[in-house]
Structure 1
Amino acid sequence: MVASDKDTREEVIQAWYMDDSDEDQRLPHHNDPKEFVSLNQLSELGVLSWRLDADNYETDEELKKIREERGYSYMDFCEVCPEKLPNYEEKIKNFFEEHLHTDEEIRYCVAGSGYFDIRDCNDKWIRVWVKKGGMIVLPAGCYHRFTLDTDNYIKAMRLFVGDPVWTPFNRPHDHLPARKEYVKGFLLKEAGNHSIDVNASA
């Protein structure tokens, strides 16, 4: 691949398989040797990603277009750091509990950075490092968790279709319709058991 074809999203979003260490959750937790995951591989698990202009999010036409196309009518900001987040220790522990939502989780990092961990079709953890300018969408029904990295700070725009529902369903909640749809639409397809159009559930 020539340099001009480089995916600029990779400058603000990187992903890799995690080791099984119980060390500080804020460390990168790379396998040895490192095993990176492409953004195309993430998209096969239903994870969408963009690189946007975080310094001009108020006037960014690309963000406006994404919100209009995907129906993201609600927007607010969440700052996660020891100084800004009430009950920080409890919240960061809860964020790192493996869970799913019955709606998409949309996060746009406008400052700082953090890790969003998701499971692949073999139930292995993939760590997704989102930095300033990176925006990701985790599909409804996918098990995931969040933690800060060692910089201990992220400011994220949260987007939602309609009124926000932040309810986490800690694993296991495999009986939920959103989970069943995610497994059918992405995990079974990714495992090669079915040929399903991933766009059908987008």
Structure 2
Amino acid sequence: MASIEAWFMDDSDEDHRMPHKLNPNEPVSLKELENIGVFYWKLDADIYETDPVLEKIRKDRGYSYSDIITIDKDKLPNYEDKLKMFFEEHLHLDDEIRYILDGRAYFDNYTQAMRLFVGEPVWKAYNRPADEFDIRQKYVNALQCA
């Protein structure tokens, strides 16, 4: 059974595929994540196509579009270029919802994920710090209040 784990990262620029946990590790609780706008739901991936809990989340949050991406060197075109893009810390102006259906949420391993969006997805990524965007300021303010 899978679980979620979050932690504060170190400042190392070594291999991006490593966890980069602080030493000693400083885990982040689900409550702390929720306080800064990160939500977590535990769903049954075996029934994702008919899951009433997922349907309720989609309805409540307005997620009208979804697709499924498989991140694997044999299935994702331009796999190595995509990994470099994933490792560059960036933000999007819309919610980023990833429902891990199979594998792990480390994008350099095998992962199959449903991506959920309000309306049509906008794939434009803005590299950090991106402080000029209202959504970034809202997030930074949430961090300071948490």
Match of 2:135 among 168, 178, 183: 178
Q: Which amino acid aligns with 1:189?
A: C
**1:73: which partner in 2?**
64
Any residues of structure 2 matched to 1:123-134 within 5 Å, and which?
Answer: none
**In 1, Cα distance between equivalents of 2:86 and 2:58:** 25
Task: Give the gaps of 5 or more residues in structure 2.
Answer: none
Any residues of structure 2 matched to 1:96-135 within 5 Å, and which?
Answer: 96-115=87-106
- Per-residue deviation at 1:92? 0.6
**1:85: which partner in 2?**
76
Greater fraction strand: 1
**2:111: which partner in 1?**
154
SS in 1 for 2:130: coil
- How many residue pairs end up in the alignment? 146
SS in 2 for 1:30: coil
Match of 2:50 among 40, 48, 59: 59
Give the structure-1-normalised TM-score.
0.67
**In 2, Cα distance between equivalents of 1:178 and 1:158:** 20
Q: Which amino acid aligns with 2:133?
A: L
**In 1, Cα distance between equivalents of 2:122 and 2:6:** 27
Query: Cα deviations across residues 121-145 of structure 1 (Å, max 9, x unaligned)?
Result: xxxxxxxxxxxxxxxxxxxxxxxxx
Query: Cα deviations across residues 88-127 of structure 1 (Å, max 9, x unaligned)?
Result: 1111101111111111100000000124xxxxxxxxxxxx
**1:188: which partner in 2?**
144
Higher relative contact order (CA 8 A, sep 6+): 1
Q: Which amino acid aligns with 2:123?
A: W
Give the structure-2-normalised TM-score.
0.91
Task: Give the gaps of 5 or more residues in structure 1.
Answer: 1-7, 116-146, 191-202
- Per-residue deviation at 1:165? 0.7
**In 2, Cα distance between equivalents of 1:176 and 1:36:** 28
> Between the two proteins, what is the percent identity of the paired residues?
56
**2:40: which partner in 1?**
49
**In 2, Cα distance between equivalents of 1:33 and 1:177:** 34
SS in 2 for 1:93: helix
